[in-house]
Chain A
Amino acid sequence: MASRKEGTGSAATSSSSTTGASGKGKSKGGSGDSAVKQVQIDGLVVLKIIKHYQEEGQGTEVVQGVLLGLVVEDRLEITNCFPFPQHTEDDADFDEVQYQMEMMRSLRHVNIDHLHVGWYQSTYYGSFVTRALLDSQFSYQHAIEESVVLIYDPIKTAQGSLSLKAYRLTPKLMEVCKEKDFSPEALKKGNITFEHMFEEVPIVIKNSHLINVLMWELEKKSAVADKHELLSLASSNHLGKNLQLLMDRVDEMSQDIVKYNTYLRNTSKQQQQKHQYQQRRQQENMQRQSRGEPPLPEEDLSKLFKPHQPPARMDSLLIAGQINTYCQNIKEFTAQNLGKLFMAQALQEYNN
């Protein structure tokens, strides 16, 4: 997940289509199977997503929407998007599918790409690795193979660096999800670890040349934006929040492990009992045999010892994935901050 795609400067200025490494995203090669190697996003889409969050999302609430576009060679071009309305209690009978179809039909009438290629979602401090996301991305990918989910982090963006990432499920995870079997054995067989759940697809933001020209024009004319969020040295709040969230996940993880532990203990205990039972049975049969009696009838052991329900491991995988994301975030953040601090120190020294 090292490949972070970020437009330098504010979103408005991140126009260059060639900025950033066009990524070798995954160290673990899983993306090779898929035809899509790169996601190309229109500036319009980025702005629309940001605007959507600005207007409707706040705090921990997330906003979601549909991405439209088409696949060109090994590129997924996202050319437009539209938001989902926020859910409220009063419109419980709101038909999402109907709404989507309507929207797409309407957009087609105005000659906009109407192919469904995924969806986007905002996130709060990078906590997006959830069951809900997994499920809906699975259903998307199940229906439309090339679809991705765009994760937009408004907080990081507010700090000065646009954070937009495209993810999709790895083929391995797709298989496991198709089976709907999240038992420890199945996951082991699928060879799934938290690192192999999502793969990130490199993103390129592309604007038309006309827009680029306009941007250059504007940049020259306008006074330099004197907002330097990027250089802010205040770190404690963000870091604290991240730590708190990380801690919560760790707690969950702990609980999950305890649960699993109990399961294991119970199973082994049962195994022992089963074993004892079988032995007793065998001994008795031997005695009976020596006495010339018929052996006891076979009994269904699985009925006597109902196997315990193994706990689903998917949640713990997701938590692990989430923890991983947090760690990456913190690492990144601290690295940047250290850099900033050194810079500030140097500046101070220089001034003195």
Chain B
Amino acid sequence: MSRFFTTGSDSESESSLSGEELVTKPVGGNYGKQPLLLSEDEEDTKRVVRSAKDKRFEELTNLIRTIRNAMKIRDVTKCLEEFELLGKAYGKAKSIVDKEGVPRFYIRILADLEDYLNELWEDKEGKKKMNKNNAKALSTLRQKIRKYNRDFESHITNYKQNPEQSADEDAEKNEEDSEGSSDEDEDDEGVSAAAFLKKKSEAPSGESRKFLKKMEDEDEDSEDSEDDEDWDTGSTSSDSDSEEEEGKQTVLASRFLKKAPTTEEDKKAAEKKREDKAKKKHDRKSKRLDEEEEDNEGGEWERVRGGVPLVKEKPKMFAKGTEITHAVVIKKLNEILQARGKKGTDRAAQIELLQLLVQIASENNLGEGVIVKIKFSIIASLYDYNPNLATYMKPEMWQKCLDCINELMDILFANPNIFVGENILEEGENLHNADQPLRVRGCILTLVERMDEEFTKIMQNTDPHSQEYVEHLKDEAQVCAIIERVQRYLEEKGTTEEICRIYLRRILHTYYKFDYKAHQRQLTPPEGSSKSEQDQAENEGEDSAVLMERLCKYIYAKDRTDRIRTCAILCHIYHHALHSRWYQARDLMLMSHLQDNIQHADPPVQILYNRTMVQLGICAFRQGLTKDAHNALLDIQSSGRAKELLGQGLLLRSLQERNQEQEKVERRRQVPFHLHINLELLECVYLVSAMLLEIPYMAAHESDARRRMISKQFHHQLRVGERQPLLGPPESMREHVVAASKAMKMGDWKTCHSFIINEKMNGKVWDLFPEADKVRTMLVRKIQEESLRTYLFTYSSVYDSISMETLSDMFELDLPTVHSIISKMIINEELMASLDQPTQTVVMHRTEPTAQQNLALQLAEKLGSLVENNERVFDHKQGTYGGYFRDQKDGYRKNEGYMRRGGYRQQQSQTAY
């Protein structure tokens, strides 16, 4: 259909388009890459004007040829399919047929087909041999064609009377048909590559070329250069070609044309892409120029070779001689972009095309606006490269992406007059008008965020123990640098919202890193100013603490989305905790009230929250605040799913419970390895905190029936340790803690100490702290104190009095400390004793009940409740259940002693039995 035609009937062209697709499909057999074999613009321009008739007829002839082929190999099923398609195609061509009359070749195929079918029908032998499908198709087809032919009866009889003449009439097509068929007659196999090849040798038909191209595609990794070549050959050596060849090209060209003018964008884009791909191929092709030269001693390629590579390429992208203007480039760009997300689109090719376009744009000095715009699209296409969310970018793609973003940033920094924004409309763009500020649609922030996500994905998908991971991790610096650049850019240009977002990115890349330099600086106060200055110069960056403070404060003040603020707070707390600023971290956590509503947040934020809590707990532990540490870690540890909660791995246990989809989602949530919190450290900190709390508590409440466990997990570990039939020296961290707990129970702090702090534990746990020695000192002291308490609880009953000096010797604590600990215990009524100041002794009061007394008391209590329960049964019988009883019950509790209740019991048992 021609350009001129389309304007008239858009709808028709569209429908014909779809029809065409349907029709052409079977011809080539595999038409997946069909768009790629289009000719170049030059050719198009030559054959711009082609009638719709040709196109329609081309379709029909194609179909007819397939039918003939099928007839040759007696594939009736195929015949039937094609016949149906033919009927449809004919229906579409109706308007033309009305004008031109029924084409001869059409009549001919109908007649031939009918004859053929009748022949088959008669051939009983053959019919028997046919497979079931074919036989069925045969009868169907026979009926159909009979019915169909009734409409054309006159034509057919006419044709049958003088086939010669009619053949002459539509010389082109029929000739080709017969030629094709005669060709194929020779080999019984029917449509084989060999046949096509042979054909090609004399007159490469469109089909064969396609076919060839296909094969080459497969061979050469979807390189279409051969295809171009073919086309060139076709056009240049057309003298030897039959008209059929001409016709073929025409058809293709017309198809091409038809698409080009339709404003339907996708069509255009697809075509453009194809075209451009061809161009890209060109690069590669240049390498093989010699070879090609041999193939086609024709002009075109020679010409191309003579030129500078770039000059050579341009005409590929744009028609020769086209002036490269903004409009043209933009149009191309749009066309390329429209292919995005399409099924058949070769994404790699698209990226290359875009890069080429940038080059062209810069060659022609089209201004930064255009380049920026194209760069945006390149990056977007890079992201698009992987259709699957789960997979990650290939390293080279990733590198390309980083480079591209960097370049883009370069441009943006160099040209402050460019405005970039996602809210700029396509129409509002100003890409070249230098008088006004350039406006480009696109969001650098989104690109960077996406880049960051890609980076996370890459890290997630790399084996953390491989060299590869280290290599990837090196890119982190680049990512950070880019984020920083974008941040600087946005600080100038962006809205507060954008700034918040980029700040969050920055925070997310900062919060988990321990600032060794700042730490060092802290340790060495600025005594020699010269040296610290030098340090400063070396560091050349602000303290991460200051940085975090600044970024977070901005977000707190300006952010309007809750999520960013929440994340910022959590990161801030994490950072504080990481650097041992416990009180700041704790206050921030308490003030934010995050604990109350974190369960409503989305999983990634919850993971962040968990990480923060854990870090907070570890921080508290470092400060010697075991209780706080224990509380912070309790939630995470008690579930036994710390790994999952911290996003550091999936639990195998629940694998069967979740389906594939869920697992994928969960996998995506995983925190990259370099952010991981050491789980063993976490557990050890928790267990040691629990030990320091639980052991004295247990000692104090040994005989208390209502004592509660402070830490279930710790008790669990203890039980596991007890169940061990044979106790060897501890191996794992847990065993160490259990052994230490046992020692502590006896008040033996030295053994406890040696179990908690030794080579093994140092290697496993303690050395992981930044200030390992400080932590160890703290820990020793804690162990001494708690052991002293435990000792007093456990053995106070065997002492009448004990000298504090002895205690201080035993636990290697100085006297005031011992004094203060004992005083505290006395004040809290944990220890029934008093201090005798002059002699420095603790005098026990021995008012604690003995074990038996304790038991007896408990028994009495239990019996009391038993009686109460029994009375309820009794009341049931009496029918006085309800208010009366409840009053009574309270009465018992408050006023009546145990004896009285005993009385009741007697009374009741008398009546009950």
Contact = CB atoms under 8 A, between A and B. Distances in A.
B30 interface: no
Contacts of B870: 257
A151 interface: no
Interface stretch (A22-30, A158-166, A198-206, A240-248): A240-248
Contacts of A257: 866, 869-870, 872-873
A112 interface: no
Pick from A193, A243, A268 the residue with the most CB of B within 10 Å: A243
A239 interface: yes
A236 B850 contact: yes
Contacts of B862: 247, 250-251, 254
A103 interface: no
B869 A250 contact: no
A213 interface: no
A261 B852 contact: no
A247 B703 CA distance: 13
> B862, B863, B870: which has the most chain A beta carbons within 10 Å?
B862
A312 B852 CA distance: 34
Contact of A261 (B850, B869, B913): B869
B569 to A, nearest CB: 48
Contact of B866 (A193, A240, A250, A265): A250
A231 interface: no
B855 A261 contact: no
B342 to A, nearest CB: 66
Nearest to B879: A268
A225 B862 CA distance: 44
A268 B876 contact: yes
A265 B881 contact: yes
Q: Is the interface of B mostly helix, strand, loop or mixed?
A: helix
Given A257-B866, A257-B870, A268 B855 contact: no
Interface residues on A, range: 10 to 19
A258 B913 CA distance: 19
A312 to B, nearest CB: 16
B859 interface: yes
B913 A243 contact: no
Nearest to A259: B869
A144 interface: no
B852 A258 contact: no
A115 interface: no
A247 B850 contact: no
A28 to B, nearest CB: 13
A247 B859 contact: yes
A264 B872 CA distance: 10
Contacts of B873: 257, 260-261, 264
Nearest to A244: B855
B881 A258 contact: no
Contacts of B866: 250, 253-254, 257
Interface in B836-859: 850-852, 855-856, 858-859
A264 B876 CA distance: 7
B855 A240 contact: yes
B865 interface: yes
Contact of B859 (A250, A253, A260, A265): A250
B876 A243 contact: no
Contacts of B876: 261, 264-265, 268
B189 to A, nearest CB: 71
Given A254-B862, A260-B873, A243 B881 contact: no
A112 B884 CA distance: 68
Nearest to B865: A254
Contact of B872 (A246, A251, A253, A261): A261
Nearest to A191: B913
Contacts of A260: 873
Nearest to A256: B869
A254 B859 CA distance: 12
B137 to A, nearest CB: 65
A251 B869 CA distance: 11
Interface in A105-162: none
Nearest to A255: B869
A258 B855 contact: no
Nearest to A247: B859
Interface string B861-897: 0110110011011001000010000000000000000
Nearest to B856: A243
B869 A254 contact: yes
Contacts of A268: 876, 881
Contacts of B855: 240, 243-244, 247
Listed residue (B859, B863, B869) with the most chain A CB atoms within 10 angstroms of its CB: B869
A80 to B, nearest CB: 37
Contacts of A244: 855
Given A257-B866, A268-B876, A246 B859 contact: yes
A264 B858 CA distance: 28
B859 A243 contact: yes
Contacts of B872: 257, 261
A179 to B, nearest CB: 20
B858 A247 contact: yes
B884 to A, nearest CB: 15
Contact of B863 (A250, A258, A264): A250
A324 to B, nearest CB: 13
Nearest to A267: B876
A275 to B, nearest CB: 14
B606 to A, nearest CB: 39
Nearest to B912: A193
A190 B255 CA distance: 103
A280 B869 CA distance: 35
A239 B716 CA distance: 29
Contacts of B913: 193
A88 B850 CA distance: 40
Nearest to A268: B876
Contacts of B881: 265, 268
Contacts of B851: 236, 240
Nearest to A195: B913
Interface string A285-306: 0000000000000000000000
A84 B850 CA distance: 42
Contacts of B869: 254, 257-258, 261
B908 to A, nearest CB: 12
A254 B852 CA distance: 22
B859 A240 contact: no
Contacts of B858: 247
B852, B859, B866: which has the most chain A beta carbons within 10 Å?
B866
Contact of B852 (A240, A251, A265): A240
Which of the listed residues A257, A258, A268 has the most CB atoms from chain B within 10 Å of its own CB? A257
Contacts of A254: 862, 865-866, 869
Contacts of A258: 869
A250 B862 CA distance: 7
Nearest to B872: A261
A261 B885 CA distance: 14
Interface string B173-184: 000000000000
Contacts of A243: 852, 855-856, 859
Contacts of A246: 859
Contacts of B863: 250
Interface string A212-247: 000000000000000000000000100110011011
A24 B870 CA distance: 33
A189 B287 CA distance: 109
Nearest to B862: A250
7 contacts: A240-B852, A243-B852, A254-B862, A254-B865, A257-B866, A264-B873, A264-B876
Interface of A: 193, 236, 239-240, 243-244, 246-247, 250-251, 253-254, 257-258, 260-261, 264-265, 268
Complex A-B, nearest 8 residue pairs according to Cβ-Cβ distance, in ascending order: A243-B855, A257-B869, A264-B876, A250-B862, A254-B866, A261-B872, A247-B859, A236-B852
Given A261-B873, A264-B873, A268-B881, 14 more contacts: A236-B850, A239-B852, A240-B851, A243-B855, A247-B855, A247-B859, A250-B862, A250-B863, A254-B862, A257-B873, A261-B872, A261-B876, A264-B876, A268-B876
